[in-house]
Structure 1
Amino acid sequence: MRKVLHIIIGFWAICTNAQTALYNSGNMQIHDQGQMGFHIDLINDGSFDENLGLAGFYGDLPLNVSGAFATTFFDLEISNPDNVTLNTSLNSSNNTNFIIGNFNTPRAQTDNYLNFLQNATNNGSGDISKVDGYAAISNQQNFTFPVGDATQLRQLVLNSTAVNTFAKCAYFFEDPSSPSTFPNGFNTNTKVASLGAISTTEFWRLEGSVPSTIQITWNDRSNIGALVTDVTRLGIVGWRKSSSQWVSIGTNGAVGDLSQGFVSSVSFIPDDYEVITFGDSLGEATELINPDNFLVTPNGDGINDSLVIPETDLSPNNSIQIFDRYGLKVFEMNNYTNEFNGFATTSNFVIAKDKGLPTGVYFYILSLDDIDLDFQGFLYLAR
């Protein structure tokens, strides 16, 4: 009886204010085998998360979901060509059926998303029905995000090495150099030397802390012909947060032609990158990475104070070993990002270790694990 009373109060509050919405300020629930169809807006300021059965958004008028709390539906479907806008998050705990119409989430409000909870699935997504904005997962390892823009489905396939507590994805049909909903742009001319052209047509935003691989597709609208003439050179690139530039994420190969196809990445951590798109990887061929000899002068003047090897941006998963002229290993590190400044990390009989290594010639070996490449060179340490 108490639950019914809350529903009646909710309806009364809306009717007296002449609003066309279902307003919940108490405790609502859809029981097993129950069905609820929304032809009006939903405002949830109460408990509406212990649902079974089916909830659907129908009709031919734009609908909105808002309120202080996220609603959790068991089975969910959309059949509304005028779309449903999520002004607060909406959770799906079992299955979401895309028939017609989009779930829109304002991209400037990144905390609003359609969230697929543990074991939740979806089906039927396509150009006429998808998430136009952010979709998220909670406690899932592998997932295909049914994201796109107003007219096209541009899904992203995520395969992670472990369960994601939370991950989120959105697609943007715009130039990453001047995005509409980010405070700063991602200039496609700011990139490592080993990259060619970078897409100015589209990009994805993917958040997640678990090492993962992804797969994205291209079509005629992607204008891949402006990037490459041979799809074997096409790769996945990302704006790396630590260096504020475009780098290769690493690619397991592209399949298709200039009109359509897909490309898969090597394993990476999504949170290391602001956005992701297509780029000319120049084949990531060995001959395009030129091992160099370096000068290291750790005197604090800001010039050559550490060993900076630009190629490490191609492969965040890397390892380096440095040897002196007698073949004694004096430094080693995994996931190297320019840390060597003349001090040893090994204890192999290095004299006066706390004062730094002596002036002289050293030999390094760098392994770029993401692109299966090793190279070596010399450095001269001057004090």
Structure 2
Amino acid sequence: MKAILNILFLSVGILANAQPAFYNQGNIRIHENGQIGFHTDLINDGVFDENLGLAGFYGNEFRDIFGAFPPTFFDVEYDTRIGTTLNTTVNVVNNVNFIDGNVFSPRIQSGIALNFLENAFYTGEGDFNKVDGYASINGQQNFTFPVGDFEQLRPLILTSSGINTLAKCAYFAENPNNPPSLDNGFDTTRKASNIGVISPVEFWRLEGEVPSTISISWNERSAMAALTDDVSTIIPVGFSKSTNQWISLGVTGQAGDLSQGFVTSAEFIPDNFRAITFAGAGEPVELLNLDNYLVSANGDGINDFLEIAELEQSPNNELFIYDRFGVKVFEQVNYTNEFKGFANTGDFVIQREKGLPSGVYFYVVSMKDVGLDFQGFFYLTR
């Protein structure tokens, strides 16, 4: 969604820091195909909903959104380079387009968030274009929260057993023992006996009352080698509200190495936990490593599809492919070289008809005839 705005409604209010602002005390509505651009702050003390057009926030300085009432936009885009700060929740009906700059919300207060309503989605997310703080959803069952810290996108993938009336998530690149963003910590020495070393560098907070699974990913900054020397022992753990200790959230999927990978939990209720992160476990998951591959899906007849020769030994097999964040993008029962760079599953894949983007992908294979599971990764290029 390109930012082409010809209409700028500007009224000036004075904040405590003497910055100009668009100040709404009445009733504003953006009609279908209408566009409004904010090159200043927004104070919404009136009605600003039932919109059908585009609202954009632009400039090379911070943009702040204040007010007694949350504005509700149909489409909204953020192109502010330094960032946009939410001092009140912003609701989105359709699409958020992250162009340049993070959207900040206070981590100490989960009640302020970039809130995605029933059919809302987003595009353009990246390390410097995301929610630095809380994102939330209303009326959605499955969602990838585009959250992270100032430097990196660190999404959490939520897959729920039913519709979430409300779910919220934020990422913290902080030691859970004494996080500076919060009033209380989560003592990593308080843990169940089957849990090893717990990550001292990062955690997520997730709220929701519907039984769900999550997928979270790690990278080199996660320092997984400090937790374990065996990637198969990495598990997701949560700080239980009832027992006041870290417990395992179970593992239903895992792939990667110590420098990058992801893990998927068993089903749990997010509201039962105060924080979620990684830990090393005592017993390894029974996964063996196959080769790593190159898939160049350009139609030149060379490496155009993912070929795993070992599957000839097990016609009764299952193959799953995940992107680097743990989103499942392909699955096939009795795989025989069907993957050619296109997704066949995943609610979170955008523009699937154009093919998956170049990058690292993980695969997990279950060879049922021989009773073995394998994992590895491949690089997709076009």
Alignment of 1:241-320 (within 5 A): 241-283=241-283
Q: Are the counterparts in 2 of residues 113 and 135 from structure 1 also a CA contact under 8 Å?
A: yes
Give the aligned partner of residue 375 of structure 1.
Answer: none
Give the aligned partner of residue 297 of structure 2.
Answer: none
Give the aligned partner of residue 123 of structure 1.
Answer: 123
Distance of aligned partners of 1:43 and 1:234 in 2 relative to their CA distance in 1, 3 Å threshold: same
Q: Deviations over 1:157-216 (max 9, x none)?
A: 000000000000000000000012333211111101111000000000000000000000
SS at structure 2 position matched to 1:251: coil
Residue identity matched to 1:246: W
SS at structure 2 position matched to 1:30: coil
Distance of aligned partners of 1:39 and 1:84 in 2 relative to their CA distance in 1, 3 Å threshold: same
Alignment of 1:83-94 (within 5 A): 83-94=83-94
Q: Aligned partners of 1:273, 1:107: CA distance in 2, in Å?
A: 16
Q: Aligned partners of 1:247, 1:12: CA distance in 2, in Å?
A: 52
Q: Aligned partners of 2:204, 2:99: CA distance in 1, in Å?
A: 24
Residue identity matched to 1:263: V
SS at structure 1 position matched to 2:197: coil
1:150 and 2:147 correspond: no
CA deviation after TM superposition for structure 1 residue 50, in Å = 1.3
SS at structure 2 position matched to 1:110: coil
1:96 and 2:135 correspond: no
Give the aligned partner of residue 223 of structure 2.
Answer: 223
Q: Aligned partners of 2:272, 2:77: CA distance in 1, in Å?
A: 34
Give the aligned partner of residue 139 of structure 2.
Answer: 139
Q: Aligned partners of 1:93, 1:283: CA distance in 2, in Å?
A: 45
Give the aligned partner of residue 207 of structure 1.
Answer: 207
Q: Are the counterparts in 1 of residues 230 and 284 from structure 2 also a CA contact under 8 Å?
A: no
SS at structure 2 position matched to 1:181: coil
SS at structure 1 position matched to 2:221: helix
Q: Aligned partners of 2:18, 2:139: CA distance in 1, in Å?
A: 40
Give the aligned partner of residue 81 of structure 2.
Answer: 81
Residue identity matched to 2:212: S
CA deviation after TM superposition for structure 1 residue 252, in Å = 1.3
Q: Are the counterparts in 1 of residues 158 and 215 from structure 2 also a CA contact under 8 Å?
A: yes
Q: Aligned partners of 1:182, 1:116: CA distance in 2, in Å?
A: 24
Give the aligned partner of residue 105 of structure 1.
Answer: 105
| TM-score using structure 1 length | 0.70
1:40 and 2:19 correspond: no
Q: Are the counterparts in 2 of residues 232 and 253 from structure 1 also a CA contact under 8 Å?
A: no
Q: Are the counterparts in 2 of residues 242 and 272 from structure 1 also a CA contact under 8 Å?
A: yes
Give the helix-richer structure, 1 or 2.
Answer: 1
Q: Aligned partners of 2:247, 2:263: CA distance in 1, in Å?
A: 16
CA deviation after TM superposition for structure 1 residue 128, in Å = 1.4
Distance of aligned partners of 1:200 and 1:13 in 2 relative to their CA distance in 1, 3 Å threshold: closer
Residue identity matched to 1:33: N
Stretches of structure 2 lacking an aligned partner (at least 5 in a row)? 1-7, 287-382
CA deviation after TM superposition for structure 1 residue 283, in Å = 2.7
Alignment RMSD: 2.0
CA deviation after TM superposition for structure 1 residue 31, in Å = 0.5
Give the aligned partner of residue 53 of structure 1.
Answer: 53
Q: Aligned partners of 1:220, 1:12: CA distance in 2, in Å?
A: 46
Q: Are the counterparts in 1 of residues 232 and 285 from structure 2 also a CA contact under 8 Å?
A: no
Q: Aligned partners of 2:182, 2:12: CA distance in 1, in Å?
A: 41
SS at structure 1 position matched to 2:275: strand
CA deviation after TM superposition for structure 1 residue 12, in Å = 6.1
Distance of aligned partners of 1:285 and 1:22 in 2 relative to their CA distance in 1, 3 Å threshold: closer
SS at structure 2 position matched to 1:221: helix
Q: Aligned partners of 1:176, 1:18: CA distance in 2, in Å?
A: 37
Residue identity matched to 1:167: A
Distance of aligned partners of 1:11 and 1:274 in 2 relative to their CA distance in 1, 3 Å threshold: same
SS at structure 1 position matched to 2:11: helix
Residue identity matched to 2:277: T
CA deviation after TM superposition for structure 1 residue 11, in Å = 2.5
Q: Are the counterparts in 1 of residues 220 and 260 from structure 2 also a CA contact under 8 Å?
A: yes
Stretches of structure 1 lacking an aligned partner (at least 5 in a row)? 1-6, 287-383
Distance of aligned partners of 1:18 and 1:276 in 2 relative to their CA distance in 1, 3 Å threshold: closer
Give the aligned partner of residue 237 of structure 1.
Answer: 237
Q: Are the counterparts in 2 of residues 14 and 22 from structure 1 also a CA contact under 8 Å?
A: no
Q: Deviations over 1:219-263 (max 9, x none)?
A: 000000100111110000000010000010111132000110111
1:185 and 2:166 correspond: no
Distance of aligned partners of 1:45 and 1:195 in 2 relative to their CA distance in 1, 3 Å threshold: same
| TM-score using structure 2 length | 0.70
Q: Aligned partners of 2:285, 2:86: CA distance in 1, in Å?
A: 45
Give the aligned partner of residue 319 of structure 1.
Answer: none
Give the aligned partner of residue 312 of structure 1.
Answer: none
Give the aligned partner of residue 70 of structure 2.
Answer: 70
Give the aligned partner of residue 175 of structure 1.
Answer: 175
Distance of aligned partners of 1:198 and 1:63 in 2 relative to their CA distance in 1, 3 Å threshold: same
- Aligned residues with identical type, % of pairs: 55
Q: Are the counterparts in 2 of residues 66 and 88 from structure 1 also a CA contact under 8 Å?
A: yes
Give the aligned partner of residue 160 of structure 2.
Answer: 160
